[in-house]
Amino acid sequence: DGGITQSPKYLFRKEGQNVTLSCEQNLNHDAMYWYRQDPGQGLRLIYYSQIVNDFQKGDIAEGYSVSREKKESFPLTVTSAQKNPTAFYLCASSRGTTSYEQYFGPGTRLTVT
């Protein structure tokens, strides 16, 4: 079955620790995205990548980093510089940007205490 997988589903970390969220897709999509969802805020774009070895900052990139070494994978690292990291993180992919349908993974809920 084609789709997007995110792991883990739940993640707990202590303040000051970096943590990496996994996102893998087998849809052969060129573009991949990371969004953050907070209650009452809607989804906001963190980073996106249109092609391997290239990525761009979204609206709220501060405190986050990404890599895109393989077409299938787009991991997100939440660093200790992120002030409010507790949130629901969603990964998405699409064939290309702009006019293509985006497909989402099941999400990772990160709790930092």
Partner 1 sequence: KQEVTQIPAALSVPEGENLVLNCSFTDSAIYNLQWFRQDPGKGLTSLLLIQSSQREQTSGRLNASLDKSSGRSTLYIAASQPGDSATYLCAVPWGGTALIFGKGTTLSVSS
By CB under 8 A, name the one of 23, 24, 48, 74 that touches partner 1: 48
CA nearest to 9, candidates 111, 106, 112, 104: 106
CB of 78 to partner 1, least distance (A): 18
Please give the Cα distance from 4 to 13 (Å, whole number).
24
Closest approach of partner 1 to the CB of residue 16, in Å:
27
d(CA 64, CA 9): 19
Give the span between the Cα atoms of 61 and 27, in whole angstroms: 25
> Minimal distance in Å, beta carbon 4 to partner 1?
8
Give least dist CB 41 to partner 1, A: 7
The count of residues interacting with partner 1 (CB under 8 A) is: 25
Among residues 1, 2, 42, 54, the one that binds partner 1 under rule CB under 8 A = 42
Quote the DSSP letter at residue 30: S
Instruction: Round to whole Å and give the CA distance between 113 and 6.
Output: 22
Radius of gyration for the alpha carbons in the chain, expressed in angstroms and rounded: 13
Which residue lies nearer to partner 1 by CB, 80 or 107? 107
Q: Which residues bind partner 1 (CB under 8 A)?
A: 6, 33, 35, 40-43, 45, 48, 56, 58, 88, 90, 92, 97-99, 101-107, 109
